[in-house]
Amino acid sequence: MKVLRVAAAVVLAVLLVSAMGFAWFVHRVAEPARLPTQADAIVAFSGGPDRVETALRLLADGRAERLLLSGIGGGANLAELAHLAEVDPRPLATRVTIGRDATSTRGNALETAAWARANHVRTLLVVTASYHMPRALAELGRALPDVSLYAVPVVPRDGSAAPLRLTAEEYVKFLAAETGITALLSLRGHAG
């Protein structure tokens, strides 16, 4: 009987800590951006609506000197991407790098780290979906510990929150990133 009570208490404690962690995560996802007036650079983790467009508009508005569009698949070029953002690509052409190697959030972070070091970046605006931001910052923080990161969360145009299932899945992935499990998995050849 005593073993059952201890086991039940442990399970209850784990559930309580998990629920509190998830509540913290949901709150963090909803935090608004607090941006410096100027940063060295911007990175957009592609893979969802409005991320690339938001980053291109920030660059066009003079919020940073350069931009990395990380994880751009296929043959998309700057002219096509700028058209979607409704910005003129000509003045941005020498300031935008299109990264095509990343296929995961960890890959985005590694691609960004190499680019940031090559460009002497000390302050970085990070553009990705609001629900994805905690994991993106965890991976980038590990890859770029000496760079100040500023979140630019992208929310759906209708202002709605991500579905609960997507948020819960992202929370689990965030925990894996925060604890370094994604780094271990990438060393073993699994997606990160």
User: What are the boundaries of each domain within the chain?
Assistant: 21-187
- Cα–Cα distance for residue pair 92/88, rounded to 1 Å: 7
Residue type for position 25: F
Task: Report pLDDT for 56.
Answer: 96
H or E segment at 66?
A: strand 64-70
Q: What is the mean pLDDT of the chain?
A: 87
Tell me the whole-structure pTM to 2 decimals: 0.84
- Cα–Cα distance for residue pair 98/118, rounded to 1 Å: 15
Task: Report pLDDT for 190.
Answer: 45
Task: Report pLDDT for 158.
Answer: 65
Closest residue by Cα to residue 53 from 21, 92, 17: 92
CATH number, domain 21-187: 3.40.50.620
Task: Report pLDDT for 186.
Answer: 63
pLDDT, tens digit (0-9, with 9 covering 90-100), for 21-55: 777 777 677 777 788 889 999 999 998 889 999 99
- Cα–Cα distance for residue pair 68/92, rounded to 1 Å: 12
What is the chain's Cα-based Rg?
19
Task: Report pLDDT for 1.
Answer: 79
- Cα–Cα distance for residue pair 112/105, rounded to 1 Å: 10
CA dist 57 → 33, 75, 85, 95, 188 (Å): 15, 21, 7, 13, 38
Task: Report pLDDT for 159.
Answer: 62
> Can you tell me whether residue 159 is helix, strand or coil?
coil
Task: Report pLDDT for 136.
Answer: 96
Can you list the residues of the chain whose pLDDT is less than 50?
Answer: 190-192
Closest residue by Cα to residue 148 from 61, 43, 69: 43
The pair of structure tokens assigned to 98 is 């299109």
